[in-house]
Amino acid sequence: MTSQNGRTYLPHTLIEIISPRLPCARPRHFLFDFDGTISLIREGWQQLMIELMLEFLLATPEAEDEQTLTRMISDLVLHSTGRPTLDQMTFLADEVAQRGGLRHDPHMYKRLFLDRLLARVNERLTALRRGQFEPADLVVPGVLELLAELKRRKIICHLASGTEKEAVLEEITALGLADYFEDRIYGPQDGGPVFSKKVVIEGILETYGLAGCELVSCGDGKVEIEYTAQVGGIGVGVASNEVERQGINEIKRQQLILAGANLIIPDFREGEVLVSYLMGEDEAK
């Protein structure tokens, strides 16, 4: 281990050790979040959501000033990253009502948000399909190589996203990554049961007969990291800077540490070293 500026890292890496990996059998399964952890197709969704919420809350009779509302909304979006979009829109509906405004159905807010977001997403998907982008241009750096390494090691990968499953399937197929996950892709579905990453994690442990520490969860939001910590799993917090595609997002880092992450990484450029460390192999120590 090496220390720098009060932080501890694996030697010659940017893999930050928050707490040592759990003493247990080697990991057998990896669970990934999608947006901001694997895919950058929806980069900028947080700002679009903040703008939508601010628009409706500023229009209420008892609205605070714009700066106060922006701070409150930004905090909400940060803390709810990884949750279904409908949960976030339900919060918006409740906050509108609390300020004397007309509470619309959360599904209406969700449709407005997705209309704005999908205009951007569809542009990127079209460019990807036309060859104007390579898949590597629209993913967190190193994730393609990491998934290939996990497949080589016969480690089973799962994907759980708060984004609608239909959209995730379209986007991960466009990126050429669907085969790594096969039928192990989970997300909200219209008309389906309420989606919960907690239920997904519990289901993985039960279905495959895993001890908690045989599951590694990688995510840039607190939800999957928090639930993984609760079952004794290993949380790899991906504090990705989605705009620059390099370096640490310090706000994400703080939230991921509070959620119980064992490790913090900026991306997956050092994915092979990460896996070696998690597998307890000598060369990673």
Within 8 A by CB and 6+ apart from 57, the residues are 63, 69, 73, 92, 95, 96, 99, 101
Q: What is the reported pLDDT for 142?
A: 98
Beta bridge partners of 9: 2, 16
β-bridge mates for residue 217, sequence order: 31, 235
The residues, ordered by sequence, that sit 6+ positions from 100 with a Cβ below 8 Å of its Cβ are: 60, 61, 62
In the structure, what pLDDT confidence band is assigned to residue 81 with cuts at 50, 70 and 90?
Answer: confident
Confidence category of residue 236, pLDDT binned at 50, 70, 90:
very high
**pTM metric for this prediction:** 0.89
Mean pLDDT of 28-48: 96
Note whether 165 and 187 are within 8 A (CB): yes
Token representation of residue 61: 């009779």
State residue 265's pLDDT score: 98
Above 60 in pLDDT, residue 215?
yes
Count other Cβ atoms within 10 Å, centred on residue 59. Answer: 12
Query: What mean pLDDT do residues 139-159 have?
Result: 98
Domains of the chain: 2-40+139-284 (3.40.50.1000), 45-129 (no CATH)
| Per-residue model confidence (pLDDT) at position 41 | 96
Using the predicted structure, report yes or no on whether residue 113 has a pLDDT greater than 60: yes
Look up residue 204 and give its two tokens.
């993985």
Reported as a pLDDT band with limits 50, 70 and 90, residue 153 is very high
Confidence of residue 271 (pLDDT cuts 50, 70, 90): very high
Residue 22 has pLDDT above 70, yes or no: no
User: Please, where are the H alpha helices in 99-191?
Assistant: 106-129, 143-152, 165-174
- Note the pLDDT tens digit of each residue in 160-184: 999 999 999 999 999 999 999 999 9
